[in-house]
Chain A
């Protein structure tokens, strides 16, 4: 299948090591691609070039086979975009803004927009200036999805949403995938990408660290579990048995064999057991041994 998005050696140098360098990846039709990286890794910089807001210093960016800068208006006919930084026209109400964007995109049928508004329990009647971050994010989401576009570019789409709304958002992404939409979605949270995407680009310090399928990543991911023992002696003895170190009564264990861990814990007095989500940096450490 042909690629919807193609970035080839995309480079934008803002000086001082900031920017993106030699970024190459492709997103296939109907695929949900994650764009994973810590803050400041170059996610937004890359998306801005795909949107045609900035021109690359080197390399090319193409969507639907068209140059992203020269043909931005043409590409955007079939594209829904959610910016990473929420900025609307503050003098409008939420509904006025949604209608304005619909008119800009020549969307006549507001059924989908209204569906989304009620799905996210959004009250868009107030002035945008007075709205909370979460409400603004919902307006941005409605604007990005109301078109039912072929391609969705989403920059940190769940920031500012509470857990319930995050869950709803993930369900929405899954339904969009079923509809056949191609999705490129940036995030600094592994779980979010894990639950929605087929593959992910991992970017760090402006360079691509890996492009992997989520299945592969999951297989190689170790579980991180924090165990609190009743006493320090127990913690120490367990830590030496598991070849890790104790921090007071706490031991942090990385394993891919949960059964073995539970069996080993059987003889100890355990106060608390907490699975910890890996931070993105830890993920890097595990996959790439921390090398830059």
Chain B
């Protein structure tokens, strides 16, 4: 089912992109974990209270007293959502719409490989990039936490937090990938997918600011990545996590179906 030459080509063409995002996240991850310090926590708390709205928008109002809460709020509340998302938008567009837009899709379609196999290969590439990034960050942060604050991190909860984060990335990848499969122009593929994703993020930020806009959390799929719920080991949080995975995969498969049936103007 996997088209090996295409898969190899995509790895070679995109590993640099992955490394850039992994490097940026490494910096943020190490910085945030090293900032965990009960005393520094207090001063952060004070800072948060001085401008609660701003901190709330980024999901950082409650610093949390444990390392896992601290990481969940400061790293997984915003950075681990947005940074992988930017990579996803770029990568999803490159994998399909870019080839159609430039016309080089003609060479992929002219090979004795079905469209389904081509798109399946691209889906695997995209999901692997997300998985690799999540795995890397999980290992890095666990190692950093153990190194700096031995025994402080609830590793089981942290693993689950990362599974949830991976689910969210798969969902957002699904949104970007379906756009990549549907549009002939890269500008529409990037425009619509990034537009949707930015809207998701902004709506979540607004919903966190105060009770007045709390209802907006129902308007963004980002709510389904329920960090507090995962740490508190709530069953509902796992259901939300499963919804993210299933919807993400469904979106990719619908994109594949659309690409199989439609006219490709190359």
Known contacts A53-B264, A89-B13; is-contact A101 B111 (Cβ 8 Å): yes
A54 and B113 contact, CB distance less than 8 A:
no
Q: Which of B5, B106, B115, B117 has the most CB of A within 10 A?
A: B106
Residues of B within 8 A of A (CB): 3-6, 8-9, 13, 99, 102-104, 106-115, 117, 263-266
> Of A54, A77, A103, which one neighbours B5 at CB under 8 angstroms?
A103
Interface residues of A in 36-59 (CB under 8 A from B): 48, 51-55
In the docked arrangement, what's the CA distance between A88 and B13, Å?
Answer: 13
Counting CB contacts under 8 A, is A166 at the interface? no
> Of B5, B8, B113, B266, which one neighbours A53 at CB under 8 angstroms?
B266
A104 and B5 contact, CB distance less than 8 A:
yes
A73 and B9 contact, CB distance less than 8 A:
no
The 6 listed contacts between A and B (C-beta, < 8 Å) are: A48-B265, A48-B266, A51-B109, A54-B264, A88-B104, A104-B3
In the docked arrangement, what's the CA distance between A48 and B262, Å?
Answer: 13
- Nearest A residue to B5 via CB reads A103
B110 and A51 contact, CB distance less than 8 A:
yes
Interface residues of A in 71-88 (CB under 8 A from B): 72-74, 76-77, 79, 81, 83, 85-88
Task: Please give, as numbers and ranges, the residues of chain B lying within 8 Å of A55 by CB-CB distance.
Answer: 263
Counting CB contacts under 8 A, is A251 at the interface? no
In the docked arrangement, what's the CA distance between A89 and B108, Å?
Answer: 10
Task: Please give, as numbers and ranges, the residues of chain B lying within 8 Å of A86 by CB-CB distance.
Answer: 103
> Of A52, A91, A104, which one neighbours B13 at CB under 8 angstroms?
A91
- Nearest B residue to A83 via CB reads B106
Counting CB contacts under 8 A, is A212 at the interface? no
Q: How far is the CB of A113 from chain B (nearest CB, A)?
A: 15
Task: Please give, as numbers and ranges, the residues of chain A lying within 8 Å of B114 by CB-CB distance.
Answer: 72-73
Q: Which A-B residue pairs are the 3 nearest by beta carbons? A: A87-B103, A103-B5, A104-B111
A104 and B113 contact, CB distance less than 8 A:
yes
Counting CB contacts under 8 A, is A268 at the interface? no
- Nearest B residue to A105 via CB reads B111
- Nearest B residue to A54 via CB reads B263
In the docked arrangement, what's the CA distance between A104 and B5, Å?
Answer: 6
Known contacts A53-B264, A54-B265, A87-B102; is-contact A73 B113 (Cβ 8 Å): yes
- Nearest A residue to B99 via CB reads A89
In the docked arrangement, what's the CA distance between A100 and B99, Å?
Answer: 15
Counting CB contacts under 8 A, is A272 at the interface? no
Q: How far is the CB of A185 from chain B (nearest CB, A)?
A: 16
Q: How far is the CB of B95 from chain A (nearest CB, A)?
A: 12
Q: How far is the CB of B15 from chain A (nearest CB, A)?
A: 12
A88 and B113 contact, CB distance less than 8 A:
no
- Contact mask A88-103 → B, CB, 8 Å, 1/0? 1111100000001101
Main secondary structure of the interface of A (DSSP, over half): loop
Other A-B pairs beyond A79-B110, A89-B107, A101-B107, 7, CB < 8 Å: A54-B264, A73-B115, A81-B106, A85-B266, A89-B99, A103-B8, A104-B113
Known contacts A89-B9, A104-B5; is-contact A74 B264 (Cβ 8 Å): no
Task: Please give, as numbers and ranges, the residues of chain A lying within 8 Å of B102 by CB-CB distance.
Answer: 87, 90
Q: How many residues of A contact B (CB 8 A)?
A: 29
- Nearest A residue to B263 via CB reads A54
Q: Which of B4, B104, B108, B114 has the most CB of A within 10 A?
A: B104
Counting CB contacts under 8 A, is A143 at the interface? yes
Counting CB contacts under 8 A, is A106 at the interface? yes
In the docked arrangement, what's the CA distance between A98 and B134, Å?
Answer: 35
In the docked arrangement, what's the CA distance between A163 and B93, Å?
Answer: 40
In the docked arrangement, what's the CA distance between A63 and B205, Å?
Answer: 56
B5 and A76 contact, CB distance less than 8 A:
no
Q: How far is the CB of B80 from chain A (nearest CB, A)?
A: 29
> Of B9, B104, B109, which one neighbours A72 at CB under 8 angstroms?
B109
- Nearest B residue to A143 via CB reads B107
Q: How far is the CB of B181 from chain A (nearest CB, A)?
A: 15
Q: How far is the CB of A266 from chain B (nearest CB, A)?
A: 56
Task: Please give, as numbers and ranges, the residues of chain A lying within 8 Å of B264 by CB-CB distance.
Answer: 53-54
B265 and A100 contact, CB distance less than 8 A:
no
Q: How far is the CB of A186 from chain B (nearest CB, A)?
A: 15
B112 and A85 contact, CB distance less than 8 A:
no
In the docked arrangement, what's the CA distance between A86 and B4, Å?
Answer: 24
In the docked arrangement, what's the CA distance between A54 and B105, Å?
Answer: 13
In the docked arrangement, what's the CA distance between A159 and B9, Å?
Answer: 28
Task: Please give, as numbers and ranges, the residues of chain B lying within 8 Å of A105 by CB-CB distance.
Answer: 111-112
- Nearest B residue to A90 via CB reads B102
Task: Please give, as numbers and ranges, the residues of chain A lying within 8 Å of B113 by CB-CB distance.
Answer: 73, 104
Task: Please give, as numbers and ranges, the residues of chain A lying within 8 Å of B4 by CB-CB distance.
Answer: 103
In the docked arrangement, what's the CA distance between A53 and B113, Å?
Answer: 13
- Nearest B residue to A128 via CB reads B104
> Of B115, B263, B266, which one neighbours A83 at CB under 8 angstroms?
B266
Q: How far is the CB of A95 from chain B (nearest CB, A)?
A: 14
Task: Please give, as numbers and ranges, the residues of chain B lying within 8 Å of A76 by CB-CB distance.
Answer: 110-112
In the docked arrangement, what's the CA distance between A54 and B115, Å?
Answer: 12
Q: How far is the CB of A276 from chain B (nearest CB, A)?
A: 35
In the docked arrangement, what's the CA distance between A81 and B110, Å?
Answer: 7
Task: Please give, as numbers and ranges, the residues of chain B lying within 8 Å of A85 by CB-CB distance.
Answer: 103, 106, 266
Q: How far is the CB of B37 from chain A (nearest CB, A)?
A: 45
